[in-house]
Amino acid sequence: MHEVSICQSLVNVVLDELAQRAIGAGRLKRVRVVAGQMHQLVPEALTFAYELLTRETPAAGSQLELRVPPLEAACQRCGWRGAIEPPIFLCEQCGAGVELKGGDELFIEELELSET
């Protein structure tokens, strides 16, 4: 469910970028988004919302491409660093709490345009 609200923000940012750069309707082909595993976004729900929310906007017809970096953590006690599987946020080696080093990203990386 939160995919729709998050996608509304995403579309607002995309439309703002297009307007700021005076990029005309139909030129945007692809939006590349990085959404770390922490955000638990369902790609199908996000792409469905994206198609719906871009209809009749200058971004209509563009594709949403999602990259999902895995969770990466560093132990604050023993220095261990590695991948963790949600929902356990503990050090594999010593059991202490870990700090997230990756997997919490949520940003637009790139807009792909067709040349006029």
Question: Sign of the CA dihedral 7, 12, 16, 18?
Answer: positive
- Residue 64-93 contact track with another protein, rule CB under 8 A, x = bound: ----------------------xxxxx---
Q: Helix or strand or coil: residue 98?
A: strand
Q: Helix or strand or coil: residue 73?
A: strand
Q: Which of 24, 43, 70, 97 binds another protein (CB under 8 A)?
A: 97
Under 8 Å between Cβ of 62 and 18: no
Binding site for another protein (CB under 8 A): 1-2, 5-6, 9-10, 12-13, 16-17, 21, 29, 33, 35, 38-40, 86-90, 96-97, 106-115
